[in-house]
Structure 1
Amino acid sequence: MLMLLRLLLLLLLLLSTSARAQTIHYVDTDANGASDGTSWADAFPDLQAALTATASGDELWVAEGTYTPTPGTDREATFQLVSGVALYGGFEGTEMSRDQRDWGLHETILSGDIGAPGTATDNSYHVVTGSGTDATAILDGFTVTGAYADGLFPRNRGGGMRNVNGSPTIRHIIFRENHARRSPDNRDAFGAGMYNESGSSPLLEDVRFERNVAGTPGNGAAGGLANRFSSSPTLRGVVFLENEAGALAGGMANESNSSPLMVDVQFIRNTSEGWTGGLDNYDDANPTLVNVVFFGNACANYGGGMTNDTNGNATLINVLFVGNVARNEAAAGAGGLQNNGSSSTLVGVTFIGNDAPDGAADGLGHRGSGSVTLRSSIHWDNGDELVDETSGGLDVTHALVSGGFASGTAIIDADPLFVRAPSPGPDALWGTSDDDYGDLRLQNGSPALDAGDAAHLLPDVGDLDEDGNTAEPTPFDLAGGPRVTATTLDLGAYEGGIAVSNEGSAEARSAPDLGVLSPNPARGPVTIPFTLPTPARVSLTVLDARGRTIARLLDERRPAGSHTLRWSTADLAAGSYLVVLHAGGTRRVRTLILT
């Protein structure tokens, strides 16, 4: 009998624990009920109060509105994430299921604008903090904005979010217009959007860093994201748009054994008043980039798109560098990618339209120890395409290079025949809103088709096909199509070709295809090109970041050839969307960024 009672007590305890682990706390700044978080009607009006009521396994459902870390003026106040606790934003305040929320429609803002409204200098140092957490600490569906990190060290690092030995899960988040400044004790600012250090390796999925600013001219690094001291996050579907730094890395900086994995990441129009407009890797930072683009980034000195420095040994797979500019006020370095004292490997990359007016190289440059290994790449219309300031520092095989490259092997010097070449637009300036990044797929008849070697393919470290096998060769190109046909490889970031006739009709070499959206990012109408090898019924739809269909643009039979559709994008909020083509049993997808 005693044993039975013990078993019953244990069962009751387990049931109680299980029920406790599933507690949902409701938060709504407009709620006026009991304020105990038990329902939408009785939701906590204050997010900070709701956080203090949580235990491991709990969820916070947060309705649209603006929430600050404190109702007062304490700049130290922050939203501290907790392991085992998940914060979900994007609710209207009536939902019964988490799947019903829409973070694009119901913006849920975590704001550092405390003190005097609209005055930045009294704002929170860090809006969100994830220090000491693991992956079970979740932040999902919020906009983080209004930080002003200008205090004594370390209060000048990580305005939007600061992680020290913390690795939370970050999904569907926008870090917008956060600031970091040099501290009163003369310490440089880092990571206005997010700062990771001391083994912080969060997961970032569907995250945007927009118009964050680190430092002032001459100081400050990583306007968007800084990773330091063995911090190696995983980034999937992340966009860096128009972030700024006073000295180094407008978009992102990796330093001191920080080696993130970056898949489907975009660096667009980020700027630095010193070095490196887009991405900087320094001091044993060895990132891996898969399906990444650098569009229109700029800096005052070298590395408009990207810099590897002092054993910043990066690996790049299926990467574009288009229209990046280094003004070279120090008269050194490259517009696209500068490699200094580092050993980097690039497979399936395309450089076009990059510029360094007073530098040694417009496209890619190398100096110092180390080397750059280039395989199956295209270097076209960059001016000085490849410059090796150290004899033997560039190992180039199976590449198309304007003007050739004497020390390379299997080098082609001929027009690659892109479907549409990029253009800086009517203002003739890269890094502005009228840029056209082109359609850098290859036409049929391009000398770059089948000119590579499939043996050059690197392992699928990004698991692009989601089969769990990261040892197999990279299966897809930048557009998501098969990377290998037979035993050959096309040069550049795209596989397969488009045949363009004198009349402008086009057909995919092997299947229907969806062209490069233009412009992208966009603030208005977008042109959507697609090609059909044979007549087919065509479906064009637009999905939001949750995969929901929000627009049906086309559903009809079309003849073989080249087609374009002009879409207004009216009434859509800024964010990331997918344009999906279904035709002839083929599915093609393009990401569209609306700003």
Structure 2
Amino acid sequence: VSNPGNGRSWSGAFQYLQDALHESDLAAGDAIHVAAGTYLPDRYVGSPNGSGDLTESFELRPGVAVYGGFPPGGGPFATRDPASWPAILSGDILGLAQDAYASCGDADSGAADCFTATPWTTGCVNGSCCTQVCDQIPFCCVMGWDQQCAYAAVDICEGRATVTALGIGQSILLDGFTIRDGSAVGAPAVDPYIYYGGGMRCGYAGGPVVIANCTFTGNQAEYGGGLAITGGVAHVVNCRFEANQAFLGGAMYVNYADATLANCLFTGNAADEGAGSGVYADPDSVVSIVNSTFVGNFSASHGIAAYEVSEIANCIFWGNGSTSVYGTGSVTYSCVEGGHTGEGNIDAHPLFADAGGGDYRLALDSPCLDAGNASALSQDVADLDGDLQTDEPTPLDLHMARRVLDSTVDIGAYERCRYDLNGDGLVSVEDLLALLAAWTTDPGGPPDFNDSGDVGIDDFLELLANWTGCD
């Protein structure tokens, strides 16, 4: 936006998200529409080049819904597509974030002290902070870590959640954003919660906070690398948590709160010093996780991906270490590596479509197909299908495909339609060609939909009857 206006139309849009948040009117029931781009919390009309203040945060307003994913220049709501038009809320205020951080020095060098010293005060918690310091002061890695390096660690690495939802009021909605490179660290004497939620922190009493269709990636904190929920009620729907890290709760930390998670993917998150590489819940919280997938997360405490979660249903836990789930909560109709007590649970490789390529949808021969419990579906609080019925069972999956097919549901974040033979989310010509290629053979499953022992006319007619039936 070259000539920012009053934010009441796309032609007069605000240039900075902070200004839109500050001007949003609770009494008017405002909604904020955000076009594709990268937004930093220290940028606003009075500070167009950024203040450099690492404690700045996007503070969500009570009663205001914030939607990302509009095309550049804006457009009607129907054109909104967060995957094609990402709206990025970045905590990388100093422009120091990198995709990967190498070790600052050998384990026996003085620079190794940046990891072993007390975090937030005289050292760094991980390679991100360490590398940022040494980028500014090469001496810290080349020669050794001294008090100057320690002071630099506080100045450069101290910050807070990129997005916050705090206070008391009406419900809040955040929908369709990528929240990345947040770093919630600092001295607890200033703010006891400053090191909670690198990407986002919710500590909200009143209406619920709904977080939908968001991706949390590359965030760090002491508690809840991606998201920390420290009070109130929160619903997290159709969200991805990738490569976040913290001491506890690599992706998410919950205490003194009620939280529900549905259709979420957790992968590559790390709890460096404790448990809950995916979700860490304090015993004083009530946390329910439904139809979510946890794969390839790391925890220093026995590989625990979910710690003290109250209720787990229709979830996949695979490749997270020796113990994926810990606590006294119920686990049902889930695929848990190593097995877990509970009705409907299985211990069999989930057979993802392409785990090496990051595609955690189910293959056609996955044991998780139709193995879930439809009655465990959570309510559609985010109104994923836009029909204004928020009390119905969640109708869509993480890929925004139909969740309930033939009265059954799959285990995990993604639903696989058995007629979608090539896994593209549609039943189309490509699937028809795949069926014809298997004509008269016995594939031991689809496209032998009626399990007759060969692919024939009945299977052909069944596929046609479900044409485009997965979307």
Match of 1:377 in 2: 315
Q: Does 1:455 align with 2:375?
A: yes
Q: Distance in 2 between matches of 1:490 and 1:221?
A: 38
Match of 2:216 among 255, 267, 284: 267
1:139 to partner: Cα distance: 6.3
Higher RCO (Cα < 8 Å, 6 or more apart): 2
Amino acid at match of 1:234: L
- 3-state SS of 1:533 partner: helix
Match of 1:130 among 6, 20, 23: 23
Match runs of 1:106-117 below 5 Å: 109-110=15-16
Q: Does 1:346 align with 2:209?
A: no
Q: Does 1:250 align with 2:198?
A: yes
Q: Distance in 2 between matches of 1:146 and 1:324?
A: 23
Decide which structure has greater helix share.
2
Quick check: 1:144–1:160 contact (8 Å CA) kept in 2?
Answer: no
Match of 1:313 in 2: 258
Match of 1:16 in 2: none
Q: For the structure 1 residues 204 and 145, does the alpha-carbon distance in structure 2 shift closer, same or farther, using more than 3 Å as the test?
A: closer
Quick check: 1:337–1:365 contact (8 Å CA) kept in 2?
Answer: yes
1:220 to partner: Cα distance: 3.9
> 1:193-247 deviations in whole A, cap 9, x for unaligned?
41136x4534333343024459957854312x10001254212212212233222
Match of 1:229 among 159, 163, 167: 167
1:531 to partner: Cα distance: 9.4
- 3-state SS of 1:351 partner: strand
Amino acid at match of 1:466: G
Q: Distance in 2 between matches of 1:137 and 1:418?
A: 38
1:136 to partner: Cα distance: 4.4
Match of 2:66 among 203, 211, 226: 203
Match of 1:509 among 412, 419, 422: 419
Match runs of 1:137-536 below 5 Å: 141=35, 148=42, 180-181=53-54, 189=55, 192-196=56-60, 199=62, 201-206=64-69, 207-213=87-93, 220-223=159-162, 225-230=163-168, 232-246=171-185, 247-257=195-205, 259-272=208-221, 274-284=222-232, 286-299=233-246, 301-310=247-256, 312-328=257-273, 332-340=274-282, 341-356=284-299, 358-366=300-308, 371-389=309-327, 392=328, 394-406=329-341, 408-422=342-356, 436=357, 438-496=358-416, 509-510=419-420, 513-514=423-424, 532-535=430-433
Q: For the structure 1 residues 161 and 444, does the alpha-carbon distance in structure 2 shift closer, same or farther, using more than 3 Å as the test?
A: farther
Quick check: 2:41–2:91 contact (8 Å CA) kept in 1?
Answer: no
Q: Distance in 1 between matches of 2:354 and 2:288?
A: 27
Q: For the structure 1 residues 146 and 307, does the alpha-carbon distance in structure 2 shift closer, same or farther, using more than 3 Å as the test?
A: closer
Quick check: 1:512–1:586 contact (8 Å CA) kept in 2?
Answer: no
Aligned pairs, how many?
A: 353
Q: Distance in 1 between matches of 2:392 and 2:39?
A: 41
Q: For the structure 1 residues 459 and 141, does the alpha-carbon distance in structure 2 shift closer, same or farther, using more than 3 Å as the test?
A: closer
Q: Distance in 2 between matches of 1:363 and 1:302?
A: 11
1:327 to partner: Cα distance: 1.4
Quick check: 2:34–2:67 contact (8 Å CA) kept in 1?
Answer: no
Q: Distance in 2 between matches of 1:139 and 1:161?
A: 18
Match of 2:455 in 1: none
Amino acid at match of 1:208: I
Amino acid at match of 1:514: D
Quick check: 1:449–1:490 contact (8 Å CA) kept in 2?
Answer: yes
Q: Distance in 2 between matches of 1:204 and 1:212?
A: 21
Quick check: 1:177–1:210 contact (8 Å CA) kept in 2?
Answer: no
> 1:535-561 deviations in whole A, cap 9, x for unaligned?
39xxxxxxxxxxxxxxxxxxxxx989x
Quick check: 1:86–1:138 contact (8 Å CA) kept in 2?
Answer: no
Quick check: 1:145–1:177 contact (8 Å CA) kept in 2?
Answer: no
1:449 to partner: Cα distance: 1.2
Decide which structure has greater strand share.
1
> 1:59-84 deviations in whole A, cap 9, x for unaligned?
xxxxx4276xxxxxxxxxxx9x6xxx
Asked which structure has the greater CA Rg, the reply is 1
Quick check: 2:302–2:321 contact (8 Å CA) kept in 1?
Answer: no
Quick check: 1:87–1:138 contact (8 Å CA) kept in 2?
Answer: no
Q: For the structure 1 residues 201 and 320, does the alpha-carbon distance in structure 2 shift closer, same or farther, using more than 3 Å as the test?
A: same
Q: For the structure 1 residues 478 and 374, does the alpha-carbon distance in structure 2 shift closer, same or farther, using more than 3 Å as the test?
A: same
Amino acid at match of 1:586: T
Q: For the structure 1 residues 462 and 266, does the alpha-carbon distance in structure 2 shift closer, same or farther, using more than 3 Å as the test?
A: same
TM-score, with structure 2 as normaliser: 0.65
1:409 to partner: Cα distance: 2.3
1:345 to partner: Cα distance: 1.0
1:489 to partner: Cα distance: 1.7
Q: For the structure 1 residues 229 and 439, does the alpha-carbon distance in structure 2 shift closer, same or farther, using more than 3 Å as the test?
A: same
1:411 to partner: Cα distance: 1.8
Q: Which runs of 5+ in 1 are unaligned?
A: 1-63, 68-78, 92-107, 112-124, 149-158, 163-174, 182-188, 423-435, 498-507, 516-529, 537-557, 561-583, 590-595
Q: Distance in 2 between matches of 1:161 and 1:235?
A: 23
Q: Does 1:65 align with 2:2?
A: yes
- 3-state SS of 1:226 partner: strand
Q: Distance in 2 between matches of 1:418 and 1:270?
A: 26
Match of 1:586 in 2: 468
Amino acid at match of 1:294: F
